[in-house]
Structure 1
Amino acid sequence: LHHVARSSSGRRTSARLPVCPPFVFSQSSAFFPPFLAPAALALSPTFGFAPTSHSTASATSRARPTPRARRPAVFVPRRCQSTSPVTMVAENFDAVLEGKYPAKNHAKRTVELIRKEIPDASGLLYLEARHTKLLEDNDSPEPFRQRRFFYYLTGSNLADSFFTFDIQTSKSTLFIPPVEPDEVIWSGLPVTAEQALAQYDVDEVKFTNDVNSVLSSYASANPNSTIFAIEGQISDHIKISDFQNKNLSVLKKSIEVARVVKDEYEVAIIRKANYVSALAHKAVIEKSRTAKNEQELLATFLATCIENGAAEMAYHPILAAGEAAATLHYVHNNRTLENKTNLLIDAGAEWNNYASDITRTFPLNGKFTPESRAIYDIVLKMQEDTMALIKAGASWDDIHVVAHKVAIDGLLSIGVLKGDKQEILDSRTSSAFFPHGLGHHLGLDTHDTGGNPNPKDKDILFRYLRLRGTLPAGSVVTVEPGVYFCRFIIEPYLKDPKHSKFIDTDVLDKYWSVGGVRIEDNVFVTEAGYENLTTAVKKAEDVEAIALA
């Protein structure tokens, strides 16, 4: 059985699917959670993984409407065993990324969500890019990071820009800075309107000095319309007072929900970020044979990412040697490697503003000690068993509990814990060794939107979960179990009889030098299960082989 589809460039591709009936034949359900159900979205053909058609209008003429393309059907195989390869979403990520970022589809998706709350919504969506700002007491600009809400609807990384989207006509307009002769002397020519129109998925490009006149003209021609913007992200000189109706709350909420479900292009970006990060993780393990301190390994990771086109990191990398690995968000990255057992590296490159988030733990001398290997095997089983439960509709709370159960079984088997495993779980003693949540949404932010965490939860087992509720198909989540030996966290448990009766301190003393082990992958959720987007090695034997090579 073959599935024939078209890539983003229009080329026909054919991929063999496993012969494992029955198949689910779906045009919609594979990529939408309940709150974005296709029925609720009236099966809008602009959703899903269809190639995007783009206007060829000039920057000074009114753009022609974007043709509405039929979204191709998607074969979704049920869980089965097969030797045939399964077609994966955006597996050939470089081919997918030859196209434009599908910003206009994202704007339409956002409008659909706004209309679920305000059925008769009409008017303009209005967003601003991050503005150039100087460092305090300095004449150099702050490092630039584009506003994620703006990028989601434009695909543009240009600073000091503006954007409007007409809800009624679906016309999108990007306003970019005009040429400033004084700036050209220092920074060169900026992007032109023609270049911006060719590069971004918008219908028209104007200059920023046109924004107020465009807004005023629209408000005058559409007196009952509403301008939808984000509170605190409207420049003082922008005049929205001409609009009779202003809504500064629903746009942000709607984009946050829309961002949870990724389209093919977004998955391709995350795959690319993971690909580059995996190269860098491997390079760090190789460099550890000669490195003297954590900072050298940090330099190796950064250099490898930059050499492969990823100059930005998704977050501040963590390279923690020895007992420092017990600190979840360790920041020093400059301590010696001498007499340290393992190194935990939590680091991910960013690609086109989308994050990867990968953690690996490896032995600095090339071979895990018996204690380190025991903990590594426990954590790997935690990840494998929880990943096996991932599919659309699965409860993340329940999967998180499974991670704790596997941790308890493992720690009982090596003697760190003692007693009845259900009593250990009920007492929450396992939180001393696995104190954080199993994972979170991933996308334009490392801790992406839509997770609905509850940091005030009275149950310590769930307080630090950044993702609550069920998993929607099309989302990308991290799966990052860990077991840690942090004195600051564990010692209070040892002083509390409620917990101390379950912990064997004599055995525990053998494991302090392990520090902590965490293994983290990035997973794309499907109706039938998941696809692992992370390719960095993690089998203990493979990790040791690289370290010893």
Structure 2
Amino acid sequence: MSSRYPTQPVSVYAKRRAKLARQLKAQGGGVALVQSGLEVMRNRDADYPFRVDSYFYYLTGFPEPEACLALVVSPRGDTRSLLFCRPKHLEREIWDGFRFGPESAQAAFGLDAAFSMDDFEEGLGELLANQSTVYLRMGEDDALESAVSDVLKTLRGKVRMGVGAPHVVRDLSQILDDLRLFKDKTELDIMRKAARISAQAHGHAMAACKPGMHEFEIEAELLYTFRKHGSEAPAYGSIVAGGANACVLHYRANDQRLNNGDLLLIDAGCELDCYASDITRTFPVNGRFSAAQQAVYEVVLNAQYAAIAATKPGARFNDPHDAAVKVLTQGLIDLKLLRMSLKDALDSKAYTRFYMHRTGHWLGMDVHDCGSYRDPSAKPSDGVAPHTSRKLEPGMVLTIEPGLYIRPGKGVPKRFENIGIRIEDDAIVTAKGCEVYTADAPKTVDDIHAVMKEGGRVSVARTRG
């Protein structure tokens, strides 16, 4: 984060605050508080790079630590957006870099007022006095909850002076989660750009890969491409898993040698302007799939195509998973890794020996983004079970990522041992289906063979998403 922020027009953030204000008005108004987060020490005098809280950034675009947004909404809907932030400090700016300070922050980010964080406790008391409700993300910020608790105690002590204190503390999380679940045009534009960077990084990794290299050398190709094209950081710890390591779902070491004849699974995506991308590709280290590897790969690829076809408005969140599982399970039967009928394999969940995770998750400012997976309107009285997954709607963004992970064991032929394959893309639910916007990353067997043979100079056709 730097002084070049805000990266988007301030009207974008104002519209989001207005949506939140309408939700709060419907509940009688009050004061909503969202903090930006603190810098965290890595060791000794070195801090981790600061990454602003997603909820706070969604509502403000303000990139600095030690800040708090207060959204004050009257029962009539009159709204004020107030920011508390670090004061200007010229000496610290010599060491640590630019700070906006309250005056500049108010003007730059389109807020109604801004104050020094040094005055937060006193200002919080004034804000909460005579309010009925205070909204927090409960259980997420102990320091803020403690500060609010102290202010409430102080205000209650002033009751004889005619000062009232909020009598209700409500969790803000569900309201904000539902807002963030549906991406606006600004968000989708950023996510598409992040996806283009990440797809290019995957292509570079394929082109660079050779037997005898180490996983970390391929990871370096990813990181280089991310930063070269303007990404601030990886959206999550990159998984670069060769051979048997690909059967470890959250493999992180990235330190092993890549052997001729093995597959390499890369699960990596960049973050751009606080929005994540999330792509997984699996390819042969030596540039050519073996017959067994290709057989398993095509099962996973066809499962992903089935899941993509099931990703459309009106479908349930679980529908793409169910579509993928059916194809994966039939593939396991065809490969004789399962020896039973499709019905029996599905009913007994025998496939979970080789496929043990879900086929997708929400994606946005967080790689596992916020938002309930259950239908918020489900009512037993309407015949809809409370655990029913929610319906997909335009503007939702999710990953589609089936896989198979074949460890050595009873009934596993030698040719299939340690084959781990996952294929993951990011998709926007549209009015008629979905847009797979990570399709630039090579995915078909022919495309992968061509990219690795030609050193990344092949144009990938967007034929099937």
TM-score (structure 2 length as normaliser): 0.83
Aligned length: 419
Question: Contact (CA 8 Å) 1:321, 1:340: kept in 2 or not?
Answer: no
Q: Distance in 2 between matches of 1:400 and 1:189?
A: 47
Corresponding position of 2:105 = 196
SS at match of 1:470: coil
Paired residues of 2:134 and 2:170 also in contact (CA < 8 A): no
Identity of aligned residues (%): 31
Is the CA contact 2:133–2:169 (under 8 Å) kept in the aligned structure 1?
Answer: no
2:52 is matched with which residue: 123, 136, 146?
Answer: 146
CA distance 1:218–1:388, shift in 2 (3 Å): same
Of the three residues 398, 402, 424, the one matched with 1:520 is 424
Does structure 1 residue 109 correspond to structure 2 residue 19? yes
The answer as to 2:437 corresponding to 1:533 is: yes
State the match for 1:173 in structure 2: 82
d(CA) in 2 for partners of 1:128, 1:98: 20
Q: Over the residues paired in the alignment, what is the CA RMSD in angstroms?
A: 2.5
Contact 1:440/1:467, CA 8 A, preserved across alignment: no
Q: Post-superposition shift, 1:519? A: 0.5
Kindly state the Cα deviation for residue 354 of structure 1 after the two structures are TM-superposed.
Answer: 1.1
Match of 2:383 in 1: none
Read off the aligned partner of 1:196 and give its amino acid letter: A
1:328 to 249, 257, 264: 249
How far, CA to CA, are the matches of 2:222 and 2:388 in structure 1?
28
CA positional deviation for 1:532: 1.2
Taking a change above 3 Å as real, the CA distance of residues 159 and 518 of structure 1, as seen in their structure-2 partners, is same
Displacement of 1:254:
1.2
Q: Taking structure 1 as reference, are residues 271 and 252 closer, same or farther at Cα in structure 2, changes over 3 Å only?
A: same
Task: Give the drift of 1:246.
Answer: 5.3
- 1:285 is displaced (CA, Å) by 0.6
Counterparts of 1:116-515 in structure 2, within 5 Å, are: 119-135=26-42, 138-168=44-74, 169-193=78-102, 195-197=104-106, 199-220=108-129, 223-231=130-138, 233=141, 234-235=143-144, 240-241=151-152, 242=155, 244-245=165-166, 247-289=168-210, 292-452=213-373, 468-487=389-408, 491=409, 494=410, 505=411, 508-513=413-418, 515=419
Give distance in 2, aligned partners of 1:124 and 1:445: 25
- Tell me which residue corresponds to 1:37: none
Equivalents in 1 of 2:174, 2:372: separation in Å?
Answer: 12
2:11, 2:63 → 1: CA distance?
Answer: 12
- Output the CA distance in 2 between the equivalents of 1:132 and 1:398: 41
In 2: Cα distance, 1:414 partner to 1:219 partner: 65
Which residue type is aligned with residue 185 of structure 1? I
Cα separation, 1, equivalents of 2:151 and 2:396: 35
SS at match of 2:334: helix
Aligned partners of 2:243 and 2:259 also within 8 Å: no
**Cα 1:123–1:269 shift into 2, 3 Å:** same
Q: How many angstroms does 1:224 deviate by?
A: 4.0
Change (3 A) 1:132 1:341: closer
Shift of 1:230: 2.8
Q: Distance in 2 between matches of 1:467 and 1:164?
A: 35
**Cα offset, 1:114, TM superposition:** 4.2
**Structure 2: gaps of 5 or more residues:** 1-6, 156-163, 376-386, 455-465
Deviation at 1:255, TM superposition (A): 1.0
**Matched residues in 2 for 1:299 and 1:173: separation?**
42
Change (3 A) 1:240 1:331: same
* Structure 1 residues 253 and 98, CA gap change in structure 2 (3 angstroms): closer
Structure-2 separation of matches of 1:432 and 1:398: 21
Aligned to 2:458: none
Over residues 202-241 of structure 1, what are the superposed CA-to-partner deviations in whole Å (9 max), with x where a residue is unaligned?
A: 3333322343444333444xx2442222335244566632
- Residue number in structure 1 paired with 2:457: none
Q: CA deviation at 1:311?
A: 2.7
Q: Distance in 2 between matches of 1:291 and 1:275?
A: 29
How many angstroms does 1:379 deviate by? 0.8
2:27 and 2:344 mapped to 1: Cα distance?
54
- The CA distance in 2 between the partners of 1:201 and 1:467, in whole Å, is 41
Q: TM-score, normalised by structure 1?
A: 0.71
Aligned to 1:6: none
- What secondary structure is seen at the aligned counterpart in 1 of 2:47? coil
Q: Which residue identity does 2:336 align to in structure 1?
A: G
Q: Shift of residue 101 of structure 1?
A: 7.2
Task: Report the secondary structure of 2:172's partner residue.
Answer: helix
How far apart, CA to CA, are the structure 2 residues paired with 1:139 and 1:467?
A: 49
SS of 1:205's equivalent?
strand
Seen in structure 2, the aligned counterparts of structure 1 residues 307 and 540 have a Cα distance that, compared at 3 Å, is: same
Q: Judging by fraction of residues, say which structure has more helix.
A: 2
Gaps of 5+ in 1: 1-96, 455-465, 495-504
CA contact (8 A) 1:228 1:251 kept: yes
Alpha-carbon separation, structure 1, partners of 2:15 and 2:28: 18
Q: Distance in 1 between matches of 2:131 and 2:274?
A: 36
> What is the CA–CA distance in structure 2 between the aligned matches of 1:170 and 1:202, rounded to whole Å?
11
